[in-house]
Homo-oligomer: A and B are copies of this chain.
């Protein structure tokens, strides 16, 4: 394994309410020096939850996605609040977005989003043994909950509004896990 490039210097070159762009001066093991820009996160992780009503029925949400200016289908997700564990954050996000809590939360894996330029990562949580429990969220409009059958994953993957790589990867991981008796 190669040594990581050495960070010779770094500075914030742009800043907004949500984002900080950091410029890194790097020296690679072969001596090449380059500057890269990356986005710094808020220092908090995020979670994505796959809520299963039973062995075949999962819950999706349809939400406005400002980056692409359209409604997108995907799994509930959100930032981990200070003091929360990722599993607690997953349970809260589910209560806020789909109106259920879970008695069987299971950490599956952690995704990076675009590791070349984003610091963010997302823990993926499988939620089973659901019970009805709604908490108020901070969304600008009520979130539409869309039930879907895991056995009809192929149809979901064909939809033009189910495009986010994290939701696609989580769907396929859960499908493999549950079909193999996990």
Please report A residues at the B interface, Cβ cutoff 8 Å. 1-2, 4-5, 7, 13-19, 21, 23-24, 26, 28-30, 32, 34, 36-39, 63-72, 109-122, 140-141, 144, 157, 163-166, 168-169, 172-173, 176
Q: Identify A67's interface contact among B4, B71, B119, CB under 8 A.
A: B119
Chain B, residue nearest A35 (CB): B17
CB distance from A36 to the nearest CB of B (A): 4
Query: Does the CB pair B119–A68 fall under 8 Å?
Result: yes
Query: Does the CB pair B66–A164 fall under 8 Å?
Result: no
Chain B, residue nearest A160 (CB): B110
Query: Does the CB pair A15–B14 fall under 8 Å?
Result: yes
Residues of B within 8 A of A165 (CB): 111-113, 122, 165-166, 168-169
Residues of B within 8 A of A169 (CB): 165-166, 168-169, 172
Q: Identify A140's interface contact among B14, B24, B28, B122, CB under 8 A.
A: B28
- This chain: how many copies in the complex? 2
12 contacts between A and B (CB under 8 A): A17-B23, A19-B39, A29-B141, A36-B66, A66-B117, A67-B117, A67-B118, A67-B119, A68-B112, A111-B165, A114-B118, A115-B163
Residues of B within 8 A of A122 (CB): 165
Q: A28-B64, A38-B67 are in contact. List 20 more A-B contacts (CB 8 A).
A: A2-B71, A4-B69, A14-B15, A17-B23, A18-B21, A19-B19, A30-B140, A32-B140, A38-B66, A39-B67, A65-B115, A67-B112, A67-B115, A68-B112, A112-B163, A113-B113, A115-B163, A121-B163, A168-B169, A172-B176
How many Å lie between the Cα of A37 and that of B69 in the bound state? Answer: 12
CB distance from A38 to the nearest CB of B (A): 5
